[in-house]
């Protein structure tokens, strides 16, 4: 049983470890679905040596059909993530008709080498997911992070259960999106062996001193951190016998 926590800070990694999580998906900009984190952040995360780090490789927000120059960036990022010591990478690429970009993915799998490789939620917009799962298995992917092609994984649980029954022995079907304390037992009862969540809550805002222009919007952006107690409850609910 594996609980993966999506984080965008060092504190969240520490909180995830304290809550009993098993591995980290390291990201920046979670508010847009996650982007490739900075190299300084990746190095610090790996250096903590508290949980395996799986690094999201996504150079920009938006769709998952990449130009040649964007593919070059992704390839360099995969190689650097491996050199820094990441245990895995999380990637996804589609053609303009929203099918897997097999040529690009084959290259990325080769560059990843011995690292684990996960296909991310770009999977949730593929018109024929069963065909895509067979292709990802043939490519040698280890895991698919998916909400069952719905906004939230609980809404897509019937799709997830069907894919897990048919393909779960060959590739890890990892439910993600909206997973939390209130529904973790639904995924356990459905037979999944892994889950993905952030378990986040807003941090305490700084006190703004007098003389600072409080109308500046960036001063009021919330900082979300993975919450140790939330994750402890999720892990307990998922792994308890």
Q: What is the rounded (10 degree) CA torsion for 181, 184, 185, 188?
A: -150
Q: With cut-offs at 50, 70 and 90, classify the pLDDT of residue 64.
A: very high
pLDDT digits (tens, 9 = 90+) for 151-169: 999 999 999 999 999 999 9
* Structural domains of the chain ordered from first start: 2-239 (3.20.20.380)
What is the pTM for the complete model shown?
0.93
Distance CA 169, CA 89 (A): 21
Q: With cut-offs at 50, 70 and 90, classify the pLDDT of residue 133.
A: very high
pLDDT for 65: 98
pLDDT digits (tens, 9 = 90+) for 42-54: 999 999 999 999 9
Is residue 109 within 8 Å of 141, Cβ to Cβ? yes
Question: Nearest to residue 24, comparing CAs of 55, 59, 1?
Answer: 55
pLDDT digits (tens, 9 = 90+) for 178-231: 999 999 999 999 999 999 999 998 877 777 788 777 777 777 777 889 999 999
Q: Where are the beta strands (DSSP E) in the chain?
A: 2-7, 23-26, 53-56, 88-91, 116-119, 143-146, 172-175, 194-197, 200-202, 224-226
Question: 68-84 vs 39-48: helix axis angle to the nearest 10?
Answer: 30
pLDDT digits (tens, 9 = 90+) for 217-235: 777 777 889 999 999 999 9
Q: In terms of DSSP bridges, do strands 200-202 and 224-226 run parallel, antiparallel, or are they unpaired? A: antiparallel
> Looking at residues 81-99, what average pLDDT do you find?
98
């Amino acid at each position: 049983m594996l609980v993966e926590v999506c984080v965008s800070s060092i504190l969240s990694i520490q909180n995830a470890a304290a809550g009993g999580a098993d591995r980290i998906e390291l990201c920046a900009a979670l508010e847009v679905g996650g982007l490739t984190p900075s190299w300084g952040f990746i190095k610090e995360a790996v250096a903590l040596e508290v949980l395996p780090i799986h690094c999201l490789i996504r150079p920009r927000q938006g769709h998952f059909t990449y130009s040649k120059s964007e593919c070059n960036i992704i390839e360099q990022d995969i190689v650097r993530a491996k050199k820094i010591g990441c245990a895995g990478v999380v990637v996804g690429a589609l053609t303009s008709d929203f099918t897997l970009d097999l040529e690009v993915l084959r290259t990325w799998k080769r560059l990843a080498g011995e690292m684990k490789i996960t296909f991310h939620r770009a999977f949730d917009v593929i018109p024929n997911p069963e065909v895509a799962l067979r292709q990802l298995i043939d490519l040698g992917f280890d895991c698919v992070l998916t909400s069952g092609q719905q906004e939230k994984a609980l809404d897509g649980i019937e799709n997830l259960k069907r894919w897990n029954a048919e393909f779960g022995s060959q590739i890890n079907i990892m439910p993600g999106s909206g997973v939390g304390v209130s529904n973790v037992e639904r995924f356990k009862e459905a037979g999944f062996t892994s889950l993905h969540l952030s378990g986040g809550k807003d941090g305490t805002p700084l006190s703004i001193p007098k003389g600072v222009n409080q109308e500046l919007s960036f001063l009021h952006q919330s900082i979300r951190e993975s919450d140790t107690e939330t994750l402890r409850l999720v892990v307990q609910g998922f792994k308890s016998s």
